[in-house]
């Protein structure tokens, strides 16, 4: 795509400078991409997008049958994918995921950390078990995946890590105590690793979506009207954001892409689960 940039600083003198340059995109054909939470929602959309762009996709999640369905959809569209059922809260499962990827493809180029668990819950309703499950899935699991994958990326001379954050990682939200804590923690993890892994030519990105049309919203207990659903972000738009950041040249780094609803689906409320 050609981009035309007009610089009119000297327009008052009758001089207009036009710079024409060609947008560079890194080809990810035959790159190896691991996507967690790949069985539905954003993870499924990201997996299909990366496969469409030519990557070999490793589909990871707990639901084996849903992963198989995503694999079929990718292959029916001419893409390539393998399924590795994984519980990212368990270190042994994560090690198996990465080792399977290496044994199958010999490397890891892209890691997309998307898996999460985040039902609503006030402070009083957030039990220790509820807290632990939220943090383990939404934060610790990402850490385990990154820690296990980075040595292989380092050995290969670099890579791309994309963490799927949230608007709830930038603002506080009522009745989302544990989820906000986990997503804010992911912001910090991403920022720290961005500094630490630069020396290894490993880019660490954050994509921060607001309300996106994914299955958990439909089982959240919130009454979703047709009008509200029209305001939700399509998961494919988040997949496009992931593709955008990983296709940038090595000298370009995009640390965070916030993706917000143009119109608030929960208009009149301070946050989706506010009383």
Whether pTM > 0.85 for this model: the answer is yes
**Domains of the chain, start order:** 26-259 (3.40.50.720)
Q: What is the pLDDT of residues 76-122, one digit of tens each?
A: 999 999 999 999 999 999 999 999 999 999 999 999 999 999 888 88
Q: Which residue has the tokens 């390539």?
A: 80
Query: Pick the catalytic residue: 116, 152, 179, 260?
Result: 179
How far is 90 from 193, CA to CA, in rounded Å? Answer: 21
Q: Convert the pLDDT of each residue in 240-263 to its tens digit.
A: 999 999 999 999 999 999 999 999
Tell me the per-residue pLDDT of 4-52, one tens digit each, with 9 for 90 and over. Answer: 444 444 444 555 444 443 467 899 999 999 999 999 999 999 999 999 9
Closest to 167 measured CA to CA, from 157, 185, 150, 180: 180
Closest alpha carbon to 139 in 197, 183, 90: 183
Does the active-site annotation cover 179? yes
What tokens does 228 get?
């509200």
What is the pLDDT averaged over residues 154-183? Answer: 93
Instruction: Please give the distance of CA 121 from its chain centroid, rounded to a whole number.
Output: 23
């Amino acid at each position: 795509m050609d981009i035309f940039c007009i610089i009119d600083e000297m327009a008052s003198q009758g001089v207009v400078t036009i710079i024409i340059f060609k947008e560079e995109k890194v080809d990810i054909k035959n790159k190896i991409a691991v996507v967690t939470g790949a069985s539905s929602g954003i993870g499924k959309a990201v997996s299909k997008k990366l496969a469409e762009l030519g990557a070999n996709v490793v589909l990871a999640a707990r639901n084996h049958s849903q992963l198989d369905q995503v694999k079929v959809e990718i292959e029916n569209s001419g893409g390539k994918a393998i399924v590795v059922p994984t519980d990212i809260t368990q270190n042994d499962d994560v090690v198996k995921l990465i080792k399977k990827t290496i044994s199958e493809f010999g490397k890891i180029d892209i890691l997309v950390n998307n898996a999460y668990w985040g039902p609503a819950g006030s402070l009083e309703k957030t039990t220790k078990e509820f807290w632990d499950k939220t943090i383990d899935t939404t934060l610790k699991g990402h850490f385990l995946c990154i820690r296990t994958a980075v040595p292989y990326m380092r050995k290969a001379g670099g890579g791309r890590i994309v963490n799927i954050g949230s608007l709830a990682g930038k603002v506080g939200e009522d009745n989302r105590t544990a989820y906000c804590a986990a997503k804010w923690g992911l912001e910090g993890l991403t920022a720290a690793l961005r500094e630490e892994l630069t020396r290894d030519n490993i880019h660490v990105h954050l994509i921060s979506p607001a309300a996106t049309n994914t299955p958990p919203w439909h089982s959240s207990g919130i009454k979703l009207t047709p009008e509200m659903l029209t305001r939700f972000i399509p998961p494919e738009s988040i997949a496009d954001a992931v593709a955008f950041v990983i296709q940038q040249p090595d000298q370009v780094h995009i640390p965070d892409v916030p993706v917000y609803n143009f119109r608030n689906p929960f208009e009149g409320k301070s946050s989706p689960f506010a009383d």
